Amino acid sequence: MSTRRRVVITGLGVVTPIGNDVATFFANLLEGRSGVSFIDMFPTDKLRSDIAASVKDFDPLKFLSRKESEIYGRVTHFTIGACAEALEMAKIAPIPRPVKGQSEEETEAIATAHAKLDSLEDGLDRSRIGCLFSTGMGSVDIFEQEVAKSAARGPRAVSPFFIPGVMPNGGAALVTMRYGLQGPSYSMASACATGAHSISTCAMMIEAGDVDVMVAGGAEAATRQNCVAGFGNARALARAFEGDPTRASRPFDKKRTGFVMGEGAGALVLEEEQHALQRGAKPLAYVAGFGMTSDAAHLTSPLPDGSGLALAMERAIARAGITAADIGYINPHATSTTQGDVAEFRALTRVFGERLPRIPISATKSMIGHLLGGAAAAEAIAVVCSLRDQRVHPSINLDEIDPIFTLDLVRGGPRALDFRYAIKESAGFGGHNCAIVFERYPSA
């Protein structure tokens, strides 16, 4: 019997194209609502794609001062918003922050709180709480803005805040400062597997006993003209399907043509189970196992037989101490690319064999597009909500499943299930693969 510390999830937070909080996000997934629309932030007449899944009605000033919102890019705005929701759910409060116009006594009290975090009286040892929050591409908007200023007016026009504004680790750093988290904090990048790697690495640190709590996740806000041009010129992106942007993201459909770029963030608070129970936090699910591998073959194309991704799933299942027969639901990578979906199907077939057509599968990207570095984190949150509620969302835009795929794809509406284990798998440019097994929490 395993003696590893068990890792539970005690907080969730999202910013997505179909909702800026977990309740709205999951409700819209169950209803099959698409967040894809035509791009209106820049001209698309010379681009190969004209659509994106953009975040709507998100106000960064709810979380940042006006000056901070100017310094930091959209990806950092999303990071702070998602983490704030997740940490509130996990009952971890921010430390007091200096505000304009406060008295010297108030400023001194806040400085004391920073210096003596145990004075917060919540019983948390914040030296054992950290944040690994990641992004695949970083603050593309700030980078473009400052390069344009330099090109137009010379290098002295570049903001002195340029570097902290574009640092990929900026989001994780801001979270630690706001919540007084003195444990490990950093960022990692593995393209579309970034969010899954962040969750897995945090779970590993908790299992090892190095920390008690970690804020994990990923974010992206790269729907900019040059990024859309780059992906489009690589023939990876879809256009509006028959004039309708909401029908463009169609994983496993016979008429799929590419993925839809999305933006947003997903944050999960991971915690050692007994630590959570002792302080009264409510576990939502277990992170039961994870597996990480590399294709070692090509920078942008997956192994055609899916063997690298299959190995990641096999390792995640083995680490969870179960067998493939125990998996009751699969949330796939499912980008909607012609090659990617085929390679993923072959990976799933290698792992689940003849049982695969009887395992319910639903593709979150069909509604929110591909959040790149934030994709796996947002999709993992959908899995946790499904385990909690025992309901899984449908895939939309599956008008005609490609005959090559023998899969039980949930369509037409949500499906009630009775399942204990689910697997979320992701693959990223560079041949990076990661799979995570989530387990239903008994009281959830």
pLDDT tens per residue across span 328-351: 999 999 999 999 999 999 999 999
CA distance between the termini of the chain: 24
**pLDDT in the model for residue 427:** 97
Catalytic residue among 77, 197, 275, 333: 333
Q: Active site includes 298?
A: no
Contact 386, 423 (CB under 8 A): no
Contact 441, 285 (CB under 8 A): yes
Q: Active site includes 192?
A: yes
**pLDDT in the model for residue 1:** 42
Those residues with Cβ within 8 angstroms of residue 119's Cβ, 6 or more apart along the chain or in another chain: 112, 113
* CA atoms of 176 and 213, how far apart (whole Å): 12
Does residue 119 register a pLDDT over 60? no
Rg (CA), the chain: 21
Q: What are phi and psi of 42, to 5 degrees?
A: -160, 160
* CA atoms of 85 and 15, how far apart (whole Å): 10
Of 3, 89, 9, 20, the C-alpha closest to 424 is: 9
Number of neighbours of residue 444 by Cβ within 10 angstroms:
17
- Percent above pLDDT 90 for the chain: 92
Catalytic residue among 77, 197, 370, 432: 370
- 229, two tokens: 């041009």
Q: Active site includes 227?
A: no
CATH class (in words) of the domain with range 7-440: alpha beta
pLDDT in tens, 223-275: 999 999 999 999 999 999 999 999 999 999 999 999 999 999 999 999 999 99
- Residue 150, CB-side half-sphere exposure with 13 Å CA sphere: 11
Of 318, 320, 343, the C-alpha closest to 332 is: 343
**pLDDT in the model for residue 3:** 76
Amino acid found at 333: H
**pLDDT in the model for residue 123:** 80
**pLDDT in the model for residue 122:** 75
pLDDT in tens, 5-61: 999 999 999 999 999 999 999 999 999 999 999 999 999 999 999 999 999 999 999
Does residue 443 register a pLDDT over 80? no
* CA atoms of 59 and 394, how far apart (whole Å): 29
* CA atoms of 377 and 217, how far apart (whole Å): 5
**pLDDT in the model for residue 96:** 78
Does residue 157 register a pLDDT over 80? yes
Model confidence band, residue 115 (pLDDT cutoffs 50, 70, 90): low
Number of neighbours of residue 48 by Cβ within 10 angstroms:
17
Does residue 116 register a pLDDT over 70? no
Helix/strand/coil percent split, the chain, to 5:
40, 20, 40
Does residue 84 register a pLDDT over 60? yes
* CA atoms of 405 and 334, how far apart (whole Å): 12
Catalytic residue among 192, 202, 385, 434: 192
- How confident is the prediction for the chain on average, in pLDDT? 94
